[in-house]
Amino acid sequence: MTEGRLERHENLDVARALAILFMIMVHCLEYFATPRIMEHSVYGRVVEFLGSFTSATVFMFILGMGIHLTRDKSPIHFIRRGIVLLGAGYVLNVLRGFLPMLVIWGVTGDTEWVPYMIMELFWVDILQFAGIAFIFFGLMEHIKAKNSLYIVALIVFQILNFILLENSKYFTNLMNYKSFDYYLSAVTGLIWGSGEMSFFPFLTWIFYPVAGYIFGKYYFAAQPGKRSRGFLLGIGIAAIVGGFAYLFTRLVGIDFGWETDAAFYHHWLPGNLVFGACAFGLIAIVSLHYRRIPKAVRKLMMRWSKNITEIYFIQWIIIGAVSVVTDYNTMGLPMVLVMTILVFVASDFLAMGFVKWDKLRI
């Protein structure tokens, strides 16, 4: 999810670090906490909002902005990076779920693990999406696309997304959708929300990196003194557009992506506008006030942001292994909090060790 060798912008690193924290909090909540805590506690609702509806969109928006900061802007660099991330997503599927379940099946002989074990291999998660997004940016760099072409591409993607989601019954009845054939949907799910294994389909989520790319082009071209005014103006526009999209869906009775996991992961334009406004709002607020954070804390957050891919990979391996051993969704709130802290600290520590080892190896 990182963009390779980047120029560092502390405000964006701090925003991304907060998203990393929220991400681990929501993953621990969804894998460790009992359903009652997830659905009915204040902690569960707050973490679900920050971790699901905000953090993923922040990552993707900053990914788009980061395209302008990458030192190597050659198309082959982006395409190569995309292929690596796409492959890494499936490697993570093996390490996070398939192998732990395989071990448990081998130890217990319980065949109930087998279908879940197979399903783990085909998840379309954020690494797969990030990989396809980088390939998309590589192709756009190859043809030297202007902002106008990106906007046209978004319009086409939105139309395709709407048609495909409606045909798969997500749009009309998100609780009782009819997905494609199980294994076919593992492939089509990379592009659109054709099945329950597709968490980050391209047509739904490409909105955020493209929006970040377009905003970033003007943001980085502006004088530093004018960037704060750009964020203030952007907050106003995002609030109006996102608010209008929210009211529109409520008036016509459409779920913009709030009610269910399927609705969130497979939303369309109104959800893009609402969740995009949330992401931009967080980035803007952090950018306007991040200097108030103590310098030592900012330094720590810069490290989290720089090691984002390693932290993401490691936290999932830890969560996957612990969940299989302890069984899913069995912990009370105190234990969930303890596990969240342990997972975060361990992921940060192991990511630092891996980065140091990788540099020495090179």
What confidence tens digit (pLDDT) does each residue in 68-112 have?
998 888 999 999 999 999 999 999 999 999 999 999 999 888 888
Distance CA 259, CA 149 (A): 33
Confidence at residue 139, expressed as pLDDT on a 0 to 100 scale = 97
Confidence at residue 101, expressed as pLDDT on a 0 to 100 scale = 92
Confidence at residue 359, expressed as pLDDT on a 0 to 100 scale = 67
From the list 235, 226, 229, the residue with the least C-alpha distance to 281 is 235
Distance CA 70, CA 294 (A): 28
Distance CA 23, CA 290 (A): 20
Confidence at residue 170, expressed as pLDDT on a 0 to 100 scale = 44
Confidence at residue 168, expressed as pLDDT on a 0 to 100 scale = 61
Long-range contacts, stretch 118-122, CB < 8 angstroms, 24+ apart: 119/197, 120/93, 120/94, 120/96, 121/90, 121/93, 121/94, 122/93, 122/183, 122/186, 122/189, 122/197
**Cβ atoms within 10 Å, residue 76:** 11
Query: For residues 69 and 6, is the Cβ–Cβ distance under 8 A?
Result: yes
Q: Could you give the 3-state DSSP secondary structure of residue 201? A: coil
Tokens of 281: 């709002």
Distance CA 75, CA 138 (A): 4
Token look-up 């597709």 returns: 198
Confidence at residue 41, expressed as pLDDT on a 0 to 100 scale = 93
Residues of the chain below pLDDT 50: 2-4, 170-180, 362
Confidence at residue 25, expressed as pLDDT on a 0 to 100 scale = 96
Confidence at residue 325, expressed as pLDDT on a 0 to 100 scale = 86
Alpha helices of 222-268 — where are they, by DSSP H?
A: 224-252, 261-265
Provide the whole-model pTM.
Answer: 0.90
Confidence at residue 2, expressed as pLDDT on a 0 to 100 scale = 44
Query: For residues 128 and 89, is the Cβ–Cβ distance under 8 A?
Result: yes
CA–CA distance from 340 to each of 31, 33, 316, 333, 347 (Å)?
A: 11, 11, 12, 10, 11
Long-range contacts, stretch 339-343, CB < 8 angstroms, 24+ apart: 339/28, 339/32, 340/24, 340/25, 340/28, 340/29, 343/24, 343/27, 343/28, 343/315, 343/318, 343/319
Confidence at residue 177, expressed as pLDDT on a 0 to 100 scale = 43
Confidence at residue 165, expressed as pLDDT on a 0 to 100 scale = 83
